[in-house]
């Protein structure tokens, strides 16, 4: 979709990446790190300066204590953290419970591990967890729950009750939980991100994943990390060693500085995104879509059925040509394609004038 958007000059609200770079201090710190000699292989777990900053961040925001020496692993984006965790924890034939729609790398990583995914549908427009469906997804073969909150592509922030239910079922079935919290800071209207590992009794079975790409709008730096019990982190590290070994050398100290000094920036960024969510949601509604207002991430799902659309895949292929806007059909994130037949995901991590232009094109063309 990004290639098509570029080809036809469409406003690209498909792939989720910001069109404004993150805090200048963080960008400057990367340049300084290059000048200062951070250009060879970092240590296998990541530079201590970053692991320590991750530990402080977890403590400051969530009261979570992680030992930077043994409980944190720096990865090549959250993407590698997900792959390492799934490959480390799953054997062929194991089952992984995840929610659908799901971020696309989940299905690929579960397949790489030759495990089986058992998905639980989150249904438009409120995307609530259905307790019976969740229970039914667990079995004695369940090895792992792969959770994502705040959730791409729905923008859902899982509630405390939903997370407690997941925790209870994981405990009952002896399953690990890998929780992808890359949008941890991107929530709106007072919606509170609750890290899964803060729930009672969960820490010993949970791997938490995040990414500087989302928090600091540095998606191209590919600095991510995971944290959890030392023996699980060690298992992930064993996998990671043979995926990439290490990565993102000079960006690691720069992100450490970001985690230590940019809380105000992050607060402003989230607030700004909340406003952009409103701008795009209002515009999509005016254009005739039915919009599910997200509480987090930088994505919004809109139903194109009121526009007479019967297949969002066709619609999204046509939209760059007909209206000069690119978006993603939600069915690409689903096993049950029919359930998402008319749903479209738009990204709103774009400059106001870009969003306004997209709205203008969608409402007037
Ligand atoms: N998980 C989710 C839910 C995401 O949306 C993304 C970003 N597309 C990732 C993981 C990957 O993060 P990174 O770019 O740090 O690899
Ligand atoms: N996370 C972003 C998205 O969901 C981009 C990642 C990707 O393109 N693989 O659009």
Rounded CA separation 82/325 (Å):
31
Distance between Cα 105 and ligand 2 center (Å): 9
Q: Which atom of ligand 2 is nearest to the CA of 14?
A: 10
Distance between Cα 157 and ligand 1 center (Å): 16
Q: What integer pLDDT is reported at residue 358 of this predicted model?
A: 98
The preferred substitution site among 158, 214, 217 for testing ligand 1, maximizing ligand atoms within 8 Å of CB, is 214
- ipTM score of the complex? 0.96
Distance between Cα 179 and ligand 2 center (Å): 17
Q: What integer pLDDT is reported at residue 313 of this predicted model?
A: 98
Rounded CA separation 180/227 (Å):
11
Ligand 2 lined by 258 (C-beta under 6 Å): no
Say which ligand is closest to the CA of 345: 2
Q: Which atom of ligand 1 is nearest to the CA of 212?
A: 15
> What tokens does 108 get?
């690929």
Distance between Cα 328 and ligand 1 center (Å): 16
Ligand 1 lined by 211 (C-beta under 6 Å): yes
Q: Are the beta carbons of 175 and 146 closer than 8 angstroms?
A: no
2-21+264-364: CATH architecture: Alpha-Beta Complex (3.90)
Q: Which atom of ligand 1 is nearest to the CA of 16?
A: 8
Query: What residue owns the CA closest to ligand 2's atom 5?
Result: 16
Structural domain spans, the chain: 2-21+264-364, 24-261
Q: What is the pLDDT of residues 88-143, one digit of tens each?
A: 999 999 999 999 999 999 999 999 999 999 999 999 999 999 999 999 999 999 99
Rounded CA separation 323/307 (Å):
14
Q: Which atom of ligand 1 is nearest to the CA of 223?
A: 15
pLDDT above 90 for 365? no
Say which ligand is closest to the CA of 220: 1
List, in sequence order, every residue forming a beta bridge with 264; answer none if it has no partner: none
Query: In terms of DSSP bridges, do strands 116-121 and 142-148 run parallel, antiparallel, or are they unpaired?
Result: unpaired
Say which ligand is closest to the CA of 222: 1
Mean pLDDT of 262-285: 98
Q: What integer pLDDT is reported at residue 23 of this predicted model?
A: 98
Ligand 2 lined by 241 (C-beta under 6 Å): no
Q: What is the pLDDT of residues 294-315, one digit of tens each?
A: 999 999 999 999 999 999 999 9
How crowded is the C-beta side of 283, counted as CA atoms within 13 Å? 22
Percent of the chain with pLDDT over 70: 100
Say which ligand is closest to the CA of 326: 2
Q: Does CATH number 3.40.50.1860 belong to domain 24-261?
A: no
Distance between Cα 112 and ligand 1 center (Å): 18
Mean pLDDT of 175-186: 98
Q: Where do we find the tokens 């607060």?
A: 267
pLDDT above 80 for 261? yes
Rounded CA separation 40/28 (Å):
19
Distance between Cα 266 and ligand 2 center (Å): 20
Distance between Cα 49 and ligand 2 center (Å): 28
Ligand 2 lined by 15 (C-beta under 6 Å): yes
At 364, the pLDDT band (50, 70, 90 cuts) reads confident
Q: What is the largest CA-CA distance in the chain?
A: 58
Percent of the chain with pLDDT over 90: 99
Closest CA to 143 of 180, 106, 118, 168: 118
Say which ligand is closest to the CA of 219: 1
pLDDT above 70 for 159? yes
Ligand 2 lined by 2 (C-beta under 6 Å): no
Say which ligand is closest to the CA of 216: 1
Q: What is the pLDDT of residues 5-49, one digit of tens each?
A: 999 999 999 999 999 999 999 999 999 999 999 999 999 999 999
Rounded CA separation 282/353 (Å):
15
Q: Which atom of ligand 2 is nearest to the CA of 182?
A: 1
Ligand 1 lined by 182 (C-beta under 6 Å): yes
Query: What residue owns the CA closest to ligand 2's atom 1?
Result: 16
């Amino acid at each position: 979709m990004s290639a098509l958007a570029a080809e036809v000059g469409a406003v690209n609200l498909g792939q989720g990446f910001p069109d404004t770079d993150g805090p200048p201090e963080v960008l400057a710190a990367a340049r300084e790190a290059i000048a200062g000699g951070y250009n060879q292989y970092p240590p296998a777990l990541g530079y201590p300066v970053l692991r320590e900053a991750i530990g402080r961040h977890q403590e400051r925001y969530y009261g979570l204590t992680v030992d930077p020496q043994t409980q944190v692993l720096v990865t090549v984006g959250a993407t590698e953290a997900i792959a390492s965790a799934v490959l480390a924890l799953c054997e062929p034939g194991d089952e992984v419970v995840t929610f659908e729609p799901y971020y696309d790398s989940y299905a690929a990583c579960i397949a790489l591990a030759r495990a089986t995914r058992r998905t639980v549908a989150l249904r438009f427009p409120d995307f609530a967890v259905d307790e019976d469906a969740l229970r039914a997804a667990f079995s004695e073969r369940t090895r792992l729950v792969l959770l994502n909150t705040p959730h791409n592509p729905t923008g859902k922030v899982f509630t405390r009750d939903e997370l407690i239910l997941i925790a209870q079922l994981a405990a009952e079935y002896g399953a690990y939980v890998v929780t992808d919290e890359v949008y941890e800071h991107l929530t709106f209207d007072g919606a509170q991100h609750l890290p899964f590992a803060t729930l009672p009794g969960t820490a010993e079975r949970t791997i938490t994943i995040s990414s500087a790409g989302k928090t600091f709008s540095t998606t191209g730096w590919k600095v991510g990390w995971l944290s959890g019990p030392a023996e699980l982190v060690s298992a992930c590290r064993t996998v990671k060693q043979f995926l990439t070994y290490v990565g993102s050398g000079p960006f690691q100290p720069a992100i450490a500085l970001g985690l230590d000094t940019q809380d105000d920036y992050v607060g402003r960024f989230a607030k700004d995104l909340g406003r952009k969510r409103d701008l795009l949601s209002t515009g999509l509604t005016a254009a005739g879509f039915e919009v599910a207002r997200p509480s987090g991430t930088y994505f919004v799902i809109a139903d194109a059925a009121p526009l007479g659309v019967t297949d969002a895949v066709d619609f999204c292929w046509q939209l760059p040509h007909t209206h000069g806007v690119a978006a993603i059909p939600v069915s690409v994130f689903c096993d049950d394609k029919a359930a998402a037949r008319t749903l479209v995901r738009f990204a709103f991590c774009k400059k106001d004038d870009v969003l306004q232009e997209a709205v203008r094109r969608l409402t007037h063309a």
